[in-house]
Amino acid sequence: MKKHHQGIESANKLSKQTHAPEDSELKRRKIELQIDEAIRLRAITGVTVYFVGDTAHLKGRVATETQKSAAEKAARGVPGVKDVRSSIEIEFLLSGTASDP
Mean pLDDT of 4-18: 48
**Sheet hosting strand 83-90, strand order edge to edge:** 47-52, 55-62, 83-90
| Domain segments of the chain as ranges | 2-95
The top-level CATH class assigned to 2-95 is alpha beta
The pLDDT of residue 95 is 60
User: How far is 58 from 44, CA to CA, in rounded Å?
Assistant: 12
pLDDT tens digits along 44-84:
999 999 999 999 999 999 999 999 999 999 999 999 999 99
Please give the model's pTM, rounded to 2 decimal places. 0.71
- 71 phi and psi, to 5 degrees? -65, -45
The pLDDT of residue 19 is 60
The answer to whether 99 and 83 have CB atoms below 8 angstroms apart is no
The pLDDT of residue 96 is 57
Q: Which residues make beta-bridge pairs with 80?
A: none
